[in-house]
Chain A
Amino acid sequence: MGYEVVIGLETHVELSTNSKIFCSCGGHSSPKEPNDCVCPACSGMPGMLPVMNKRVVELAVTAGLMLNCEISRYTTFDKKNYYYPDLPCAYQITQLNHPICTNGLVTVKTANGARDIRIKQIHMEEDAGKLVHEGKFSFVDFNRTSVPLIEIVTQPDFRSAEEVLAYLNKLKSMFRAGNISECEEGAMRCDVNISVRKEGSDEFGVRTEIKNMSSFEAIDKAIRFEAQRHIDALEFETEELVQETRRFDDVTGKTFAMRNKETEADYRYFPDANLMPIIIDDEWLEQIKAAKPVEVDERAEEYRAEGISDKEIEILLDNSKAAKLLDDVIALGCNAKDSAAWILTDCAGILRKDGQSLNELNISAEKLAAIIKMVANGDVNRNSGKKILIAVVEDDVDPVKYCDEQGFAKKVDSSAVESVIDKVLSENTKAIEDYKNGKEKAKQALFGACMKELKGAGDPALIRTLLDNKLQNI
Chain B
Amino acid sequence: MNFYATKISDKGDIAVDDTLLVKDVLCTAGSNILQGFTPLFSAEAVTRLVSVGYTISGKTHVGEFGLDLVGEFSNYSEKTDTLKGAAAELVKEGKVKAALGVDVNGAPRRAASISGVDFLKSTYGTVSRYGVVSTAASGEAVGVYAKDAVAVGEIMSKIAGYDSKDGTCQNNEFEYDYSATKDIKGKKVCIITELYEKCDDAIKAKIDSAAKILEKNGVQVDRISSDIFSLAATAWQILYTAETCNNLSRYDGVKYGLRAKEYKNIDELYVNSRTEGFNFLTKAVILYGSDVLSKNRYKDCYDKALRVRRVVAEQLAEILKTYSAVLTPACSAAEYSAYNIADAFSKVFGELEFTAIANLTGNPALVSSGVQFIGDYYKEGDLLCLANAIERMGE
Interface residues of A (CB under 8 A from B): 40, 43-52, 79, 81, 83, 85, 88-91, 140, 266, 268-276
Contacts and interface: CB of A to CB of B under 8 A. Distances in A.
Contacts of A270: 242, 246, 293, 298, 302
Interface string B163-185: 01111100000000000000000
B133 A51 contact: no
Nearest to B254: A85
A140 B167 CA distance: 28
A274 B169 CA distance: 10
- Interface extent on B, as a size class? 35 or more
A88 B167 contact: no
A-B complex: 6 closest residue pairs judged by Cβ atoms: A273-B138, A90-B249, A268-B293, A273-B137, A47-B131, A46-B133
B243 interface: yes
Contact of B166 (A40, A49, A90, A268): A49
A52 B39 contact: no
B339 interface: no
B29 interface: yes
A268 B129 CA distance: 25
Given A270-B298, A273-B137, A47 B39 contact: yes
B254 A140 contact: yes
B134 interface: yes
A49 B294 contact: no
B34 A275 contact: no
A50 B254 contact: no
Contact of B246 (A47, A50, A79, A140): A79
B43 interface: yes
A378 to B, nearest CB: 57
B256 interface: yes
Contact of B270 (A83, A89, A269, A276): A83
User: Interface SS of chain A: helix, strand, loop or mixed?
Assistant: loop
14 contacts: A44-B250, A47-B39, A49-B165, A52-B167, A81-B246, A81-B293, A85-B254, A89-B250, A90-B252, A91-B249, A266-B295, A269-B298, A271-B306, A273-B137
A83 B251 CA distance: 10
Contact of A89 (B136, B249, B302): B249
A89 B298 CA distance: 21
A276 B168 CA distance: 6
Nearest to B289: A268
A268 to B, nearest CB: 4
B4 interface: no
A419 B39 CA distance: 85
Given A40-B40, A47-B134, A48-B130, 6 more contacts: A47-B41, A51-B166, A266-B294, A272-B137, A273-B137, A274-B134
A407 B192 CA distance: 96
B137 A90 contact: no
A44 B249 CA distance: 10
Contacts of B252: 83, 85, 90
Q: Which of A40, A266, A273, A274 has the most CB of B within 10 A?
A: A273
Nearest to B293: A268
B350 to A, nearest CB: 25
B167 A51 contact: yes
B245 to A, nearest CB: 8
A46 B137 contact: no
Contacts of B27: 46
Contacts of A83: 249, 252, 270
A274 B246 CA distance: 12
B266 interface: yes
Given A49-B130, A90-B250, A270-B298, A43 B167 contact: no
A275 B137 CA distance: 10
Given A40-B41, A51-B165, A46 B293 contact: no
B264 interface: no
Contacts of B249: 81, 83, 89-91
Nearest to B267: A83
Contacts of B295: 266, 268
